[in-house]
């Protein structure tokens, strides 16, 4: 079951990041939504930089913004998911 969840997650990330279908090839409405999501920084942003169709400063600001937003959320979720340590013995 864990393998299946991992494969599904990898497929969703690959689809949303623009590595399977480049974000520039999507219809204009979907393209605008997809290029500002955090997954686009994984595949679509480096590809756009490599091809020369994106502004490097804009991509860096977008990545920094997502880091500022998601870092505290991730730390909070991690703290909530940690189990309390129980120790027995001498």
State the residue range of the domain holding 17. Answer: 2-76
Distance of CA 38 to the CA centre of its chain: 4
47 within 8 A of 18, measured Cβ to Cβ: yes
Instruction: Determine, yes or no, domain membership for 34.
Output: yes
Domain count across the chain: 1
Q: What is the signed CA dihedral for 74, 9, 26, 41, rounded to 10 degrees? A: 40
Q: What is the pLDDT of residues 9-33, one digit of tens each?
A: 999 988 888 888 888 888 988 888 8
Instruction: Determine, yes or no, domain membership for 81.
Output: no
Q: What is the pLDDT of residues 28-77, one digit of tens each?
A: 888 888 888 888 888 878 888 888 888 889 888 998 999 999 999 999 98
Instruction: Determine, yes or no, domain membership for 39.
Output: yes
What are the φ and ψ backbone dihedral angles of 22, each rounded to 5 degrees? Answer: -55, 140
d(CA 40, CA 51): 15
Instruction: Determine, yes or no, domain membership for 90.
Output: no
């Amino acid at each position: 079951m864990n393998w299946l969840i991992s494969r599904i997650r990898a497929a969703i990330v690959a689809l949303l990041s623009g590595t399977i279908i480049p974000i520039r090839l999507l219809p204009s409405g979907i393209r605008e939504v997809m290029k500002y999501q955090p997954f686009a920084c994984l595949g679509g942003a480096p590809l756009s930089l490599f091809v020369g169709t994106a502004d490097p400063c804009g991509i860096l600001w977008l990545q920094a913004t997502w880091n500022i937003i998601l870092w505290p959320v991730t730390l909070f979720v991690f703290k909530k998911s940690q189990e309390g340590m129980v120790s027995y013995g001498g």
